[in-house]
Amino acid sequence: MGEAAAIAVLKLDATVKPRLALLKRFAEFSNLYPWQWQPGEVEAFLDHLRGRRATFAVSEARNYQNAIRMFCDYITDERYDWPKVCYDSFRQQPA
């Protein structure tokens, strides 16, 4: 499947909006910019969620980890210019 076809498969309400909401919650929790995120922040975020809800399933945590990882893969991919834009704007880039 080509990139354009893969993008077309993403459903706005079922996929894009929930992932965006998760990323916003994680950014607020960590109080860091995405290029400053480290694995420890993700673990702290998931521990925080587990502590607030006894029914927080391992599969849900994995889904959250995957969504954050996919976003980080995207912003570190040189094909999309985000590393350069971040460096030019903030003198830091996602890694």
- Say which amino acid occupies 27: A
Residue 88: exposure state from Cβ atoms within 10 A (0-12, 13-18, ≥19): exposed
What is the per-residue pLDDT for 78?
A: 87
Looking at residues 37-57, what average pLDDT do you find? 94
What is the per-residue pLDDT for 70?
A: 94
Neighbours of 37 (CB within 10 A): 20
pTM: 0.81
| Domain edges within the chain | 3-90
